Structure 1
Amino acid sequence: MYKVFINEKLIILSNEVQKSEISDTYLLKDVDLEWLIGKLGAGKIDKAILYHDKSEELLPLLYTKLPLVEAAGGLVKNDKQETLFIFRNGKWDLPKGKTEKGENIEETAIREVEEETGVTGLSITEFLMKTYHIFKRNGEYRLKLTHWYKMETKYEGELLPQIEEDIMQVEWRNDADAVLALQNSYENIKLLF
Protein backbone atom coordinates (compact mmCIF):
# COMPACT_ATOMS: atom_id res chain seq x y z
CA MET A 1 0.00 0.00 0.00
CA TYR A 2 1.17 3.51 -0.84
CA LYS A 3 -0.27 6.90 0.11
CA VAL A 4 -0.25 9.65 -2.52
CA PHE A 5 -1.38 13.13 -1.53
CA ILE A 6 -2.97 15.89 -3.59
CA ASN A 7 -2.91 18.80 -1.15
CA GLU A 8 -4.86 17.36 1.80
CA LYS A 9 -6.68 14.68 -0.22
CA LEU A 10 -5.52 11.07 -0.23
CA ILE A 11 -5.14 8.47 -2.95
CA ILE A 12 -4.25 4.99 -1.72
CA LEU A 13 -2.59 2.49 -4.04
CA SER A 14 -3.48 -0.99 -2.85
CA ASN A 15 -3.79 -4.60 -3.88
CA GLU A 16 -6.43 -5.15 -1.18
CA VAL A 17 -9.87 -3.58 -0.80
CA GLN A 18 -12.27 -3.94 2.10
CA LYS A 19 -15.99 -4.32 1.36
CA SER A 20 -16.72 -0.97 3.02
CA GLU A 21 -14.29 0.75 0.61
CA ILE A 22 -15.81 -0.46 -2.68
CA SER A 23 -17.44 2.92 -3.45
CA ASP A 24 -14.05 4.70 -3.21
CA THR A 25 -12.19 2.15 -5.35
CA TYR A 26 -11.08 2.47 -8.97
CA LEU A 27 -8.97 0.15 -11.12
CA LEU A 28 -5.52 1.68 -11.38
CA LYS A 29 -4.93 0.50 -14.94
CA ASP A 30 -8.22 2.04 -16.18
CA VAL A 31 -8.66 5.20 -14.09
CA ASP A 32 -8.55 8.63 -15.72
CA LEU A 33 -6.35 10.45 -13.21
CA GLU A 34 -7.29 13.96 -14.42
CA TRP A 35 -10.97 13.12 -13.82
CA LEU A 36 -10.20 11.62 -10.39
CA ILE A 37 -8.04 14.59 -9.35
CA GLY A 38 -10.88 16.90 -10.43
CA LYS A 39 -13.37 14.97 -8.26
CA LEU A 40 -11.02 15.12 -5.27
CA GLY A 41 -10.31 18.82 -5.80
CA ALA A 42 -14.01 19.66 -6.07
CA GLY A 43 -14.72 17.80 -2.80
CA LYS A 44 -17.01 15.28 -4.52
CA ILE A 45 -14.97 12.46 -3.00
CA ASP A 46 -12.77 12.55 0.11
CA LYS A 47 -10.30 9.83 -0.85
CA ALA A 48 -9.75 7.31 -3.58
CA ILE A 49 -8.32 3.82 -3.63
CA LEU A 50 -6.55 2.74 -6.81
CA TYR A 51 -6.58 -1.02 -6.97
CA HIS A 52 -4.34 -3.47 -8.79
CA ASP A 53 -4.07 -7.12 -7.82
CA LYS A 54 -0.25 -7.22 -7.87
CA SER A 55 1.38 -5.04 -5.23
CA GLU A 56 4.72 -4.95 -7.09
CA GLU A 57 2.98 -3.32 -10.09
CA LEU A 58 1.23 -0.50 -8.18
CA LEU A 59 3.98 2.12 -8.50
CA PRO A 60 5.15 1.17 -12.01
CA LEU A 61 1.55 1.51 -13.24
CA LEU A 62 1.18 4.91 -11.58
CA TYR A 63 4.48 6.02 -13.16
CA THR A 64 3.00 5.30 -16.61
CA LYS A 65 0.14 7.72 -15.89
CA LEU A 66 2.10 10.71 -14.53
CA PRO A 67 5.57 12.10 -15.23
CA LEU A 68 7.81 11.35 -12.26
CA VAL A 69 9.84 14.04 -10.49
CA GLU A 70 12.40 12.74 -7.99
CA ALA A 71 13.34 14.89 -5.03
CA ALA A 72 15.04 14.59 -1.67
CA GLY A 73 15.02 16.49 1.59
CA GLY A 74 15.81 16.43 5.24
CA LEU A 75 14.35 16.38 8.70
CA VAL A 76 17.25 18.27 10.27
CA LYS A 77 18.08 18.46 13.98
CA ASN A 78 20.64 20.73 15.64
CA ASP A 79 22.56 20.16 18.92
CA LYS A 80 19.55 21.46 20.89
CA GLN A 81 17.36 18.81 19.19
CA GLU A 82 15.37 21.53 17.42
CA THR A 83 13.92 20.79 13.98
CA LEU A 84 14.59 22.95 10.94
CA PHE A 85 11.42 24.25 9.22
CA ILE A 86 10.79 26.46 6.20
CA PHE A 87 7.68 28.55 5.54
CA ARG A 88 6.54 28.60 1.91
CA ASN A 89 3.17 29.07 0.20
CA GLY A 90 1.45 29.74 3.52
CA LYS A 91 2.51 26.44 5.11
CA TRP A 92 5.32 25.08 7.26
CA ASP A 93 7.38 22.58 5.36
CA LEU A 94 10.75 20.83 5.43
CA PRO A 95 13.53 21.66 2.97
CA LYS A 96 13.55 19.49 -0.15
CA GLY A 97 13.98 19.75 -3.90
CA LYS A 98 14.51 18.08 -7.25
CA THR A 99 17.47 15.94 -8.13
CA GLU A 100 19.95 17.47 -10.56
CA LYS A 101 21.68 15.55 -13.35
CA GLY A 102 24.64 13.48 -12.13
CA GLU A 103 23.62 13.74 -8.47
CA ASN A 104 22.67 10.87 -6.19
CA ILE A 105 19.67 11.15 -3.86
CA GLU A 106 21.71 11.79 -0.69
CA GLU A 107 23.66 14.58 -2.45
CA THR A 108 20.36 16.12 -3.52
CA ALA A 109 19.02 16.05 0.04
CA ILE A 110 22.06 17.83 1.48
CA ARG A 111 22.30 20.37 -1.36
CA GLU A 112 18.62 21.28 -1.15
CA VAL A 113 18.70 21.78 2.64
CA GLU A 114 21.78 24.01 2.26
CA GLU A 115 20.27 26.04 -0.60
CA GLU A 116 16.85 26.53 0.96
CA THR A 117 18.01 27.35 4.51
CA GLY A 118 21.68 28.40 4.54
CA VAL A 119 22.46 25.61 7.02
CA THR A 120 25.78 23.82 6.42
CA GLY A 121 27.75 21.02 8.09
CA LEU A 122 24.96 18.52 7.48
CA SER A 123 25.36 14.80 7.97
CA ILE A 124 22.80 12.14 7.13
CA THR A 125 22.14 9.78 10.02
CA GLU A 126 19.43 7.59 8.48
CA PHE A 127 16.93 7.18 5.67
CA LEU A 128 13.40 7.90 6.90
CA MET A 129 10.92 7.15 4.13
CA LYS A 130 9.62 8.03 0.68
CA THR A 131 6.55 10.23 0.25
CA TYR A 132 4.42 10.80 -2.84
CA HIS A 133 2.33 13.77 -3.89
CA ILE A 134 0.73 15.01 -7.07
CA PHE A 135 1.15 18.61 -8.18
CA LYS A 136 0.42 20.63 -11.31
CA ARG A 137 3.15 22.43 -13.26
CA ASN A 138 2.67 24.14 -16.61
CA GLY A 139 -0.84 22.72 -16.89
CA GLU A 140 0.30 19.12 -16.38
CA TYR A 141 -0.07 16.88 -13.33
CA ARG A 142 3.13 15.27 -12.08
CA LEU A 143 4.01 12.79 -9.36
CA LYS A 144 6.72 13.86 -6.94
CA LEU A 145 8.60 11.11 -5.15
CA THR A 146 10.57 12.57 -2.25
CA HIS A 147 13.29 10.62 -0.42
CA TRP A 148 13.54 11.86 3.18
CA TYR A 149 16.60 11.65 5.39
CA LYS A 150 17.20 12.39 9.04
CA MET A 151 20.12 14.82 9.31
CA GLU A 152 22.19 16.44 12.04
CA THR A 153 24.21 19.63 12.13
CA LYS A 154 26.19 21.72 14.60
CA TYR A 155 25.44 24.86 12.54
CA GLU A 156 24.71 27.94 14.66
CA GLY A 157 24.92 30.62 11.96
CA GLU A 158 22.33 32.76 10.25
CA LEU A 159 19.35 31.09 8.61
CA LEU A 160 18.91 32.28 5.01
CA PRO A 161 15.55 31.59 3.32
CA GLN A 162 15.89 31.00 -0.43
CA ILE A 163 13.59 33.82 -1.56
CA GLU A 164 13.74 32.81 -5.25
CA GLU A 165 12.09 29.52 -4.18
CA ASP A 166 9.35 31.50 -2.36
CA ILE A 167 10.68 30.53 1.08
CA MET A 168 9.69 33.35 3.43
CA GLN A 169 11.09 32.04 6.73
CA VAL A 170 13.52 29.45 8.08
CA GLU A 171 13.31 28.55 11.78
CA TRP A 172 14.62 26.08 14.29
CA ARG A 173 11.67 24.80 16.33
CA ASN A 174 11.64 22.87 19.60
CA ASP A 175 9.25 19.91 19.93
CA ALA A 176 6.30 22.01 21.19
CA ASP A 177 6.74 24.59 18.41
CA ALA A 178 7.16 21.80 15.84
CA VAL A 179 3.76 20.41 16.86
CA LEU A 180 2.24 23.86 16.27
CA ALA A 181 3.93 24.15 12.86
CA LEU A 182 2.59 20.73 11.84
CA GLN A 183 -0.95 22.00 12.36
CA ASN A 184 -0.32 24.19 9.29
CA SER A 185 1.69 21.76 7.19
CA TYR A 186 1.24 19.10 4.52
CA GLU A 187 0.02 15.57 5.19
CA ASN A 188 3.18 13.98 3.78
CA ILE A 189 5.30 16.11 6.17
CA LYS A 190 3.15 14.97 9.11
CA LEU A 191 3.95 11.36 8.16
CA LEU A 192 7.64 12.02 8.85
CA PHE A 193 6.95 12.90 12.48
Structure 2
Amino acid sequence: MYVIYINDRPLVLREAGTPGPYGDTAPDTHLVARYSGKRKSLLNYADTLEKGSQKVSSVELLTDDLAGLWDDFQSHYKWVEAAGGLVTHTGHGKQLFIFRRGYWDLPKGKLDAGEDRAAAALREVREETGLEDVTLGERLPTTFHTYRTKKHRILKPTYWFRMTTAQDDLVPETGEGIERAEWRTVASVLAADDPLYENLRALLLRA
Protein backbone atom coordinates (compact mmCIF):
# COMPACT_ATOMS: atom_id res chain seq x y z
CA MET A 1 0.00 0.00 0.00
CA TYR A 2 1.16 3.52 -0.82
CA VAL A 3 -0.22 6.74 0.68
CA ILE A 4 0.64 9.92 -1.20
CA TYR A 5 -0.39 13.32 0.17
CA ILE A 6 -1.62 15.77 -2.44
CA ASN A 7 -2.42 19.23 -1.06
CA ASP A 8 -2.26 17.60 2.40
CA ARG A 9 -4.97 15.09 1.35
CA PRO A 10 -4.27 11.34 1.04
CA LEU A 11 -4.37 9.29 -2.13
CA VAL A 12 -4.18 5.61 -1.16
CA LEU A 13 -3.05 2.98 -3.65
CA ARG A 14 -3.66 -0.55 -2.43
CA GLU A 15 -4.15 -4.08 -3.62
CA ALA A 16 -7.75 -5.28 -3.67
CA GLY A 17 -8.52 -7.68 -0.83
CA THR A 18 -5.99 -6.15 1.56
CA PRO A 19 -7.00 -4.01 4.56
CA GLY A 20 -7.33 -0.31 3.91
CA PRO A 21 -6.25 2.45 6.30
CA TYR A 22 -9.75 3.61 7.21
CA GLY A 23 -11.92 0.53 7.74
CA ASP A 24 -15.39 1.63 8.78
CA THR A 25 -14.19 5.06 9.92
CA ALA A 26 -13.88 6.67 6.49
CA PRO A 27 -15.74 9.97 6.15
CA ASP A 28 -18.48 10.51 3.59
CA THR A 29 -16.02 12.56 1.56
CA HIS A 30 -13.71 9.55 1.12
CA LEU A 31 -13.86 8.17 -2.44
CA VAL A 32 -13.09 4.50 -3.13
CA ALA A 33 -12.68 3.40 -6.75
CA ARG A 34 -11.13 0.62 -8.77
CA TYR A 35 -8.22 1.61 -10.99
CA SER A 36 -9.29 1.36 -14.61
CA GLY A 37 -5.77 0.84 -15.93
CA LYS A 38 -5.89 4.14 -17.80
CA ARG A 39 -2.88 6.16 -16.64
CA LYS A 40 -4.46 9.53 -17.43
CA SER A 41 -7.31 8.81 -15.02
CA LEU A 42 -4.79 9.08 -12.17
CA LEU A 43 -4.34 12.76 -12.93
CA ASN A 44 -8.08 13.30 -12.51
CA TYR A 45 -7.93 11.95 -8.96
CA ALA A 46 -4.75 13.91 -8.22
CA ASP A 47 -6.23 17.14 -9.55
CA THR A 48 -9.41 16.66 -7.48
CA LEU A 49 -7.32 16.45 -4.32
CA GLU A 50 -5.04 19.26 -5.40
CA LYS A 51 -7.95 21.62 -5.97
CA GLY A 52 -9.26 20.96 -2.46
CA SER A 53 -12.73 19.78 -3.43
CA GLN A 54 -15.14 19.82 -0.49
CA LYS A 55 -16.82 16.70 -1.87
CA VAL A 56 -13.66 14.57 -1.94
CA SER A 57 -11.19 14.81 0.97
CA SER A 58 -9.37 11.54 0.24
CA VAL A 59 -9.19 8.90 -2.48
CA GLU A 60 -8.51 5.17 -2.33
CA LEU A 61 -7.72 3.27 -5.55
CA LEU A 62 -7.90 -0.52 -5.63
CA THR A 63 -6.07 -2.78 -8.05
CA ASP A 64 -4.97 -6.38 -8.59
CA ASP A 65 -1.52 -5.13 -9.65
CA LEU A 66 -0.19 -2.69 -7.07
CA ALA A 67 3.30 -2.54 -8.60
CA GLY A 68 1.78 -1.63 -11.96
CA LEU A 69 -0.45 1.05 -10.44
CA TRP A 70 2.51 2.52 -8.56
CA ASP A 71 4.57 2.62 -11.77
CA ASP A 72 1.71 4.29 -13.62
CA PHE A 73 1.31 6.91 -10.92
CA GLN A 74 5.04 7.67 -10.80
CA SER A 75 5.12 8.11 -14.60
CA HIS A 76 3.28 11.43 -14.22
CA TYR A 77 5.83 12.89 -11.80
CA LYS A 78 9.43 13.90 -11.47
CA TRP A 79 11.05 12.03 -8.57
CA VAL A 80 12.80 14.25 -5.96
CA GLU A 81 14.17 12.47 -2.89
CA ALA A 82 14.55 13.89 0.61
CA ALA A 83 15.60 12.57 4.02
CA GLY A 84 15.20 13.66 7.62
CA GLY A 85 15.12 12.60 11.22
CA LEU A 86 13.01 12.22 14.34
CA VAL A 87 15.57 13.14 17.01
CA THR A 88 15.04 12.11 20.65
CA HIS A 89 17.05 13.64 23.48
CA THR A 90 18.67 10.91 25.58
CA GLY A 91 18.28 12.96 28.76
CA HIS A 92 14.75 14.37 28.94
CA GLY A 93 13.26 12.13 26.23
CA LYS A 94 11.65 14.88 24.16
CA GLN A 95 11.76 15.07 20.37
CA LEU A 96 13.13 17.82 18.14
CA PHE A 97 10.65 19.85 16.08
CA ILE A 98 11.13 22.86 13.86
CA PHE A 99 8.64 25.57 12.88
CA ARG A 100 8.91 26.51 9.21
CA ARG A 101 6.56 28.29 6.81
CA GLY A 102 3.69 28.24 9.26
CA TYR A 103 3.87 24.53 10.16
CA TRP A 104 5.55 22.34 12.74
CA ASP A 105 7.85 19.90 11.00
CA LEU A 106 10.85 17.64 11.40
CA PRO A 107 14.27 18.59 10.01
CA LYS A 108 14.64 17.26 6.48
CA GLY A 109 15.90 18.19 3.03
CA LYS A 110 16.77 17.02 -0.46
CA LEU A 111 19.50 14.48 -1.13
CA ASP A 112 22.64 15.81 -2.76
CA ALA A 113 23.89 14.08 -5.91
CA GLY A 114 25.38 10.70 -5.02
CA GLU A 115 24.45 11.03 -1.34
CA ASP A 116 22.90 8.07 0.45
CA ARG A 117 19.72 8.47 2.44
CA ALA A 118 21.10 8.05 5.94
CA ALA A 119 23.95 10.50 5.30
CA ALA A 120 21.50 13.05 3.90
CA ALA A 121 19.21 12.70 6.92
CA LEU A 122 22.08 13.29 9.35
CA ARG A 123 23.40 16.24 7.33
CA GLU A 124 20.00 17.92 7.16
CA VAL A 125 19.38 17.52 10.90
CA ARG A 126 22.78 19.04 11.69
CA GLU A 127 22.42 21.90 9.22
CA GLU A 128 18.86 22.85 10.15
CA THR A 129 19.14 22.61 13.94
CA GLY A 130 22.79 23.20 14.85
CA LEU A 131 23.19 19.78 16.44
CA GLU A 132 26.61 18.23 15.94
CA ASP A 133 26.62 14.98 17.92
CA VAL A 134 23.75 12.97 16.47
CA THR A 135 23.50 9.15 16.41
CA LEU A 136 21.61 7.41 13.62
CA GLY A 137 18.95 4.86 14.56
CA GLU A 138 16.42 2.68 12.74
CA ARG A 139 14.50 3.54 9.60
CA LEU A 140 10.99 4.89 9.93
CA PRO A 141 8.27 4.65 7.27
CA THR A 142 8.79 6.70 4.12
CA THR A 143 6.29 9.48 3.46
CA PHE A 144 5.21 10.73 0.04
CA HIS A 145 3.78 14.07 -1.03
CA THR A 146 3.44 16.00 -4.27
CA TYR A 147 3.78 19.58 -5.36
CA ARG A 148 4.13 21.50 -8.61
CA THR A 149 6.73 23.71 -10.22
CA LYS A 150 6.18 25.70 -13.40
CA LYS A 151 7.40 22.76 -15.47
CA HIS A 152 6.80 19.59 -13.48
CA ARG A 153 4.60 17.67 -11.14
CA ILE A 154 6.92 16.56 -8.33
CA LEU A 155 6.60 13.37 -6.28
CA LYS A 156 8.76 13.63 -3.17
CA PRO A 157 9.56 10.60 -1.02
CA THR A 158 11.07 11.49 2.35
CA TYR A 159 13.14 8.80 4.04
CA TRP A 160 12.94 9.12 7.82
CA PHE A 161 15.27 7.83 10.52
CA ARG A 162 15.21 7.75 14.29
CA MET A 163 18.11 9.62 15.83
CA THR A 164 19.38 10.43 19.32
CA THR A 165 21.49 13.19 20.84
CA ALA A 166 22.56 14.42 24.28
CA GLN A 167 22.92 18.03 23.13
CA ASP A 168 20.42 20.62 24.37
CA ASP A 169 21.10 23.86 22.52
CA LEU A 170 19.44 24.32 19.14
CA VAL A 171 20.30 26.85 16.44
CA PRO A 172 17.57 27.01 13.75
CA GLU A 173 18.79 27.60 10.21
CA THR A 174 16.93 30.84 9.54
CA GLY A 175 18.23 30.98 5.98
CA GLU A 176 16.01 27.97 5.24
CA GLY A 177 12.95 29.66 6.71
CA ILE A 178 13.15 27.89 10.08
CA GLU A 179 11.80 30.27 12.73
CA ARG A 180 12.13 28.01 15.77
CA ALA A 181 13.64 24.70 16.84
CA GLU A 182 12.25 23.24 20.06
CA TRP A 183 12.24 20.12 22.18
CA ARG A 184 8.65 18.84 22.42
CA THR A 185 7.07 15.43 22.89
CA VAL A 186 5.36 13.71 19.97
CA ALA A 187 2.25 13.34 22.13
CA SER A 188 2.07 17.09 22.86
CA VAL A 189 2.49 17.99 19.19
CA LEU A 190 -0.26 15.59 18.14
CA ALA A 191 -2.58 16.77 20.91
CA ALA A 192 -2.06 20.48 20.23
CA ASP A 193 -4.14 22.46 17.78
CA ASP A 194 -0.97 23.55 15.98
CA PRO A 195 -0.54 23.46 12.19
CA LEU A 196 0.99 20.12 11.21
CA TYR A 197 1.29 18.49 7.79
CA GLU A 198 -0.99 15.46 7.53
CA ASN A 199 1.75 13.17 6.16
CA LEU A 200 3.88 14.08 9.18
CA ARG A 201 0.95 13.46 11.51
CA ALA A 202 0.54 9.98 10.00
CA LEU A 203 4.27 9.32 10.49
CA LEU A 204 4.23 10.47 14.12
CA LEU A 205 1.23 8.27 14.90
CA ARG A 206 3.28 5.26 13.73
CA ALA A 207 6.62 6.34 15.22
Could you say which TM-score interval applies, normalised by the shorter chain? 0.7 to 0.9
CA deviations on 1:101-156 (whole Å, 9 max, x unpaired) are: 12110000000111111112111111111111111233532100011101001112
Q: Does 2:14 align with 1:14?
A: yes
Q: Please state whether the residue corresponding to 1:129 is helix, strand or coil.
A: coil
Cα contact 2:80–2:155 (8 A) shared by 1: yes
Alignment of 1:146-185 (within 5 A): 146-157=158-169, 159-180=170-191, 183-185=194-196
The equivalent residue for 1:75 is 86
Sort the Cα spacing of 1:129 and 1:42 in 2 relative to 1 into closer, same or farther, 3 A.
Answer: closer
Once residues 175 and 36 of structure 1 are traced to their aligned partners in structure 2, the CA distance between those partners, rounded to angstroms, is: 32
The equivalent residue for 2:96 is 84
Sort the Cα spacing of 1:56 and 1:156 in 2 relative to 1 into closer, same or farther, 3 A.
Answer: same
Identify unmatched segments of 5+ residues in structure 2.
none
Once residues 145 and 175 of structure 1 are traced to their aligned partners in structure 2, the CA distance between those partners, rounded to angstroms, is: 22
Alignment of 1:14-93 (within 5 A): 14-16=14-16, 24-25=32-33, 26-27=35-36, 29-40=38-49, 41-43=51-53, 44-79=55-90, 80-93=92-105
Once residues 23 and 127 of structure 1 are traced to their aligned partners in structure 2, the CA distance between those partners, rounded to angstroms, is: 31
Q: Which 4+ stretches in 1 moved above 6 angstroms?
A: none
Cα contact 1:92–1:181 (8 A) shared by 2: no
Query: Could you tell me the percent identity over the aligned residues?
Result: 35
The equivalent residue for 1:104 is 116
Q: Identify the range of structure 1 (145-154 vs 129-138) with the bigger mean alpha-carbon deviation.
A: 129-138
RMSD: 2.5
Cα contact 1:28–1:50 (8 A) shared by 2: no
What is the aligned residue count? 191
